[in-house]
Amino acid sequence: VGLVMNTVGPAIPLMDGFMGMIVIYLISMVGLILTRFAPFYLPSVAWISLVGIVATLPWTPGSEWIVAQAKSVNFLALATPALAYAGFAIAKKEIEVAKHSGWKLALVACLVFLGTYAGSV
């Protein structure tokens, strides 16, 4: 789904987007493997970030190619299906929690929206 969105939305050629997603997938897999087998604990998002940072450092062999491939992936096009899936994944339990939270949840949501808008302007 992400590859289709990347091709249709920002009109990136299919093979360019495919190679970029493969590179990002491999970086993610290396980070997940490190999470599992590292001698100390770091969350997987930290390991994946570190692998991505090290892979794209200017003195890392092949970093120019990795950066060029990753540039062909529009992350906003990938976020849309991921957020849609997250919306579908809301279960009955979360809806009940939202009903019991009532006005407090609505107030926090409005403040978050206002803060996001004010921070982006």
Q: Is the pLDDT of residue 48 over 90?
A: yes
Q: How far apart are CA 31 and CA 19, in angstroms?
A: 19
Structure tokens at 25: 């997938």
- Could you tell me the residue ranges of all domains in the chain? 2-89, 91-121
DSSP-based three-state secondary structure for 56 = coil
The pLDDT score that the predictor gives to residue 110 is 87
Q: How far apart are CA 90 and CA 97, in angstroms?
A: 11
Q: Is the pLDDT of residue 98 over 80?
A: no
Q: How far apart are CA 117 and CA 24, in angstroms?
A: 30
Q: Is the pLDDT of residue 65 over 80?
A: yes
Q: Which H, E and C letters describe 36-56, residue by residue?
A: HHCCCCCCHHHHHHHHHHHHC
Model pTM greater than 0.75?
Answer: no
The pLDDT score that the predictor gives to residue 40 is 93
Q: Is the pLDDT of residue 77 over 90?
A: no
